[in-house]
Amino acid sequence: MSYQKEELVELWNSVVEEQQLPVQLGVELRGVTRLEDGTLQVDTSNGPCIARNVCLALGRRGTPNKLGVPGEDLQKVNYSLLDAEAYEERNILVVGGGDSAIEAALGLAEQHGNKVAISYRKGEFSRIKQRNEERIVKAIEEGHIEMLFKSEVVQIAEGTVTLRVGEREERVLANDDVFIFAGGKPPFDLLKRSGISFNPADRADAPPTAEQAGNLLHGLTIALGFAMLVLVWALCFRSYYSLPTYERPLTPEHEWLRPSGAAGLTAGIISVLMIVANLVYLARRSLRFPWLPGSLKRWMTMHVATGIGAFLLVIVHSAMSPQRSVGGDAFYGLAILVVTGAVGRYFYSFVPRAANGRELGLDEIEKQMNEMSGQWDRVDPAFAARVRTEMQRLQTEGRWKGSFVQRVKTLIANQRMMHDSLVALRRQAHREGLSLDQIDEVVTLAKQAQRTALMAAHYDDLRALLSTWRWLHRWTALAMVLLVLVHVWTAMRFGSILP
């Protein structure tokens, strides 16, 4: 679930009121000191207070950056927006192109009578959330917000603001309020005074995400065992399976190798049971069945193994010659399902997960990137700077556009680009005289960093890609299950099992 900023503030206020939390507003933090008994003294503008634990949720902005233009000290200039509803019938300029600026402009534009303009020095938005990008584009197209790309504030006056648009044009806008979101200076000095270290050697290693290939490898290993058994079976009876279908009834093996024979029917029954077990994985993923035992990772292993295993056994059940019938259609449906499952598992590997299988949020991915930088600095600080530049380039590639197919093409092209980049990094590390062990560690870290940067830059795109695939995969599975049920009923009905 996601919230707009105003909704989130309203939610926080309701929690504060309901839980009677002792929130103090307008208080400045000046430092944190550890006392001899292990407690912490928090120095504030309202005096000191003692606590056992302190959570510093300062954000990354710190002290707001100023534009350095005449009139910036006027009262109408603000560096944050606390309550959009307090502004009505106003001419407002928002300066900046990040998420904070976009969300502020959207909130202000929704208030009665406001005329909102955004000034951004670049020619297009970059590194903003996809949802914000969609909302701001819609607001601009509908005329609720005026967008001024490649513009800079020149002067702020009481009732106006002057902008330079492009290289020469100057525009004077009627203005009552200016909101500046131009980033800020992080509070490093305050953090250092509070005992927080910025030495890379003191950083803990980044906790690994769930091994995306682990459960796939186990499932494929089990499926490989099934494949070997089927291959041995086919070799043992190759004289029968190599015959045309019209000649097979003349052989003694036909009585028990045919689909309704002892071996063929047994393979069919086991494959149906595997399909049922495979579908139970969907129930395990759902929150409606918390009583199902086993970890999601093991269920995924079973999902992969039973999916491939059922397909292999259906090959044996069909006497390795599926016909144009309901059963044959079910066979081809299962084949398509196995292929789409393999493709989906490829997409699945790009969505970051915690050790328990839970999908990580964007903030958790960005935290991983920050923690990973400590490992870089311990290997080779100079080389780490180059890799960070490469990561930054990857993050600023922009969000993927278009349909499901176009997103897939972009993902594949991105992987090719990442591979070429890793090859170049290995060659560069070799030229700079790093040992083989250092090169291996550097390339491993670079691969992790680039993959994490891909997750952060295209988080919403990857989730959308996986969501679309799941929709297609599930409908294909439903069609295949219906065909299997019809095939089983038909076999039982005309096989004289049902009256």
Q: What does the pLDDT look like over 405-429, one tens digit per residue? A: 776 677 777 777 777 777 777 777 7
Q: State residue 390's pLDDT score.
A: 63
CA-to-CA distance for 29 and 21, rounded, in angstroms? 19
β-bridge partners, 169: 165
Three-class secondary structure assignment of the chain: CCCCHHHHHHHHHHHHHHHCCCCCCCCCEEEEEECCCCCEEEEECCEEEEECCCCCCCCCCCEECCCCCCCCCCCCEECCCCCHHHCCCCEEEEECCCHHHHHHHHHHHCCCCCEEEEEECCCCCCCCCHHHHHHHHHHHHCCCEEEEECEEEEEECCCEEEEEECCCEEEEEECCEEEECCCEECCHHHHHHCCCCCCHHHCCCCCCCCCCCHHHHHHHHHHHHHHHHHHHHHHHCHHHHCCCCCCHHHCCCHHHHCCCCHHHHHHHHHHHHHHHHHHHHHHHHCCCCCCCCCCHHHHHHHHHHHHHHHHHHHHHHCCCCCCCCHHHHHHHHHHHHHHHHHHHHHHHCCCCECCCCCECCHHHHHHHHHHHHHHHHHHCHHHHHHHHHHHHHHHCCCCCCCCHHHHHHHHHHHHHHHHHHHHHHHHHHHHCCCCHHHHHHHHHHHHHHHHHHHHHHCHHHHHHHHHHHHHHHHHHHHHHHHHHHHHHHHHHHHCCCCC
Predicted confidence pLDDT, tens digits, the chain (499 residues): 456 666 777 888 888 888 888 888 878 888 899 898 889 999 988 889 999 999 888 766 667 888 999 999 999 999 988 888 889 999 999 999 988 899 999 999 999 999 999 999 998 887 788 888 889 999 999 999 999 999 999 999 999 999 999 888 899 999 999 999 988 877 777 888 888 876 656 655 545 444 444 456 777 788 888 889 989 998 999 888 889 888 898 998 888 888 888 888 898 889 889 888 888 887 777 767 777 777 777 777 888 888 888 888 888 888 888 877 777 878 888 888 887 777 776 666 666 554 444 444 445 545 555 555 555 555 556 666 666 666 556 555 545 556 667 766 777 777 777 777 777 777 777 776 766 776 676 677 666 666 666 666 666 666 777 777 778 888 888 888 888 888 888 887 776 444 4
Q: State residue 112's pLDDT score.
A: 92
Closest to 196 (Cα-Cα) out of 54, 67, 72: 54
Q: Which residues contact 401 (CB under 8 A, 6 or more apart)?
A: none
Phi, psi of 468 (to 5 degrees): -65, -45
CA-to-CA distance for 464 and 399, rounded, in angstroms? 12
Domains present along the chain, CATH in parentheses = 5-57 (no CATH), 64-185 (3.50.50.60)
β-bridge partners, 41: 33, 50
Q: State residue 467's pLDDT score.
A: 77
Would you state the structure tokens that stand for residue 477, as one six-digit string?
């599975």
Could you tell me if 452 and 369 are in contact, meaning their C-beta atoms sit under 8 angstroms apart? yes
Q: What does the pLDDT look like over 46-86, one tens digit per residue? A: 889 999 999 888 766 667 888 999 999 999 999 988 888 88
CA-to-CA distance for 214 and 301, rounded, in angstroms? 9
Q: State residue 359's pLDDT score.
A: 46
